Amino acid sequence: MTLHMLRKLGGAIRRCAERDDQQVLINEIVAQLMEDHGPISLTGGALGSLGNFGLQQIAAILSKRESLRWLQLDHNGIGDVAVESLVGVVCANEALQSLDLDSNEIGDAGASTLAEALRATATLRELSLNCNLICAEGAKQLAKALHTNKSLQALHLQGNSIGDEGAGALADMLGFNHSLKTLSLQSSCVGDGGASLLANSLEKNKCLQELSLGCNHLGDAAGRAFGGLLCKNKVLNELRLDHNHIGDVGAISLAEGLCSNDVLQELWLIENPIGTVGIARFSTALKTNHTIQHFAITASKVEVQDKELMKSLHKSLVVRRACEAVRRGEVNLKVSGEDLSGIAAEHLASAIEETDKLRELTLEDCCIADPDAKRLAQALACNGQVAEVALPDNDISNVGAFHLVEVLERSDTMVSLDLAGNPISNTHATDKPQSTSEGDESNGDDSSGDMINGDLASNHTSDEATLADDASDGGDEEYHRVSSLEEYYRDAQETPSVIWHALQ
């Protein structure tokens, strides 16, 4: 359904609310549905909603939409009675893949009715029932249906009161189901008992990839259960345990699980009472775990030691994401305002050496010092494919700049090097190799010269041409002493941020 159509349906709902005439609303919606055959969004709200009567009235036409793939009916005041009309819609539309019933008034009876639809359908992939009135019995019925359903990949039950009993039924289902990949149970009144049952069932489950249990009543017992899970599960890649009551004991178990886990990519633990001991264990674990890409945690105490540990965790994750992006084949890597000094620079350099896809590298204000610049220069020389390098606002002095410019001069692919904002002095004495061949004409007119901070090397004429001509005598490799930037840039308005440039 086009955006224009969605707006017209929304307008129909608002006009109905203004006139307090639901039948007029139904007639207008039916007319609009007859005009278009795309996805259907009938989101209700403060200005109007379908209600039970409205859904029952349009169910017949929805059942005839054989190509319907996506149906959104959230915020419509739909209760258990009207859900019965949806069974026909789900069963009749073999193309239907997503059904959104968030924020309605569906209880256990409605959930049981939807369970019947799940038994009958072989195409529905996502069912969203967030923020309804479903309790343990409704969760049990849905779980039973998923024992045999082979199509549903995502079930969202956030904001329902299923409790440990409902979570236990879903845990039992995970021992039989081989299609469900996402299970969302945030704010579902689940405690340690239900969470432990889920963790135990996932030790053998080979399908579920995302589990969300944020904003529940989980404590250290749940933390220990999921720590044990991480040692065995080889499928789960996202686990959300945020806004719970997991302390250091549970955190230690989770950290130990991470040491042997090579699958999990996201772990969310913000707003849990985890202290210095737990954070320290995570810091150690992440030094050996190389798969975690997103790790969210908050310290229960704001102490100096905690802050340092949090910084260490953050730094390791930043460089990990950067290295992963490079190894994944990203063409452009840009990192700004992070600490990539020391071991972080070493890891990133190793990743650069392993790829042949990277073309642009930007590391702005990343605390890169001379040893880091030297290591990055080695990696860039080994890589041989990066064309543009920008390292502005770091801590690179003349020493580090020399190694980077040396790569620039020798490279056939690197065309620009930006070192603006680094503490590079105006004078520096060094021996520079300059290779020319007899008969070469270096008159400064070659527009293909290397770029440094946006200035073509060939744009610097008189002094450069003189030096190049002197270097061509005899045809052998000569060495020139660069004693001052002013030798090359006497007419410049401001001092360039690098000392050397390639003379072709």
- Percentage of the chain exceeding pLDDT 70: 73
The pLDDT confidence band at residue 504, using thresholds 50, 70 and 90, is: very low
Tokens 């790829």 -> residue: 355
Which of 109, 164, 154, 148 shows the shortest CA–CA distance to 132? Answer: 109
Report the C-alpha gap between 263 and 207 in whole angstroms.
Answer: 13
Tens digits of per-residue pLDDT, 7-34? 344 444 444 444 445 566 666 666 666 5
3-state secondary structure of 270: strand
Do 174 and 208 touch, CB atoms closer than 8 A? yes
Instruction: Look up residue 215 and give its two tokens.
Output: 């904003």
What's the pLDDT at 45? Answer: 57
Choice between 410 and 497, residue whose per-residue pLDDT is larger: 410
Q: What is the four-CA torsion angle of 249, 252, 254, 260, rounded to 10 degrees?
A: -150
Q: What is the four-CA torsion angle of 308, 310, 314, 317, rounded to 10 degrees?
A: 110
Do 258 and 287 touch, CB atoms closer than 8 A? no
Report the C-alpha gap between 142 and 166 in whole angstroms.
Answer: 10
Choice between 444 and 405, residue whose per-residue pLDDT is larger: 405
The pLDDT confidence band at residue 297, using thresholds 50, 70 and 90, is: confident
Please state, rounded to an integer, the average pLDDT across all residues of the chain. Answer: 79
The answer to which of 78-82, 325-329, 432-436 has the lowest mean pLDDT is 432-436
Strand-strand pairing, 451-452 and 416-418 = parallel
Residue range 228-253: mean pLDDT, rounded: 96
What's the pLDDT at 39? Answer: 63
What's the pLDDT at 240? Answer: 97
Q: How many CB atoms lie within 10 A of CB 358?
A: 23
The pLDDT confidence band at residue 288, using thresholds 50, 70 and 90, is: confident
Tens digits of per-residue pLDDT, 493-503? 443 333 333 22
pLDDT above 90 (res 146):
yes
- Percentage of the chain exceeding pLDDT 90: 55
3-state secondary structure of 264: coil
Strand-strand pairing, 70-72 and 451-452 = unpaired
What's the pLDDT at 298? Answer: 80
Which of 351, 475, 444, 457 shows the shortest CA–CA distance to 411? Answer: 457
What's the pLDDT at 57? Answer: 77
Indicate the pTM of the whole model.
0.70
What's the pLDDT at 459? Answer: 31
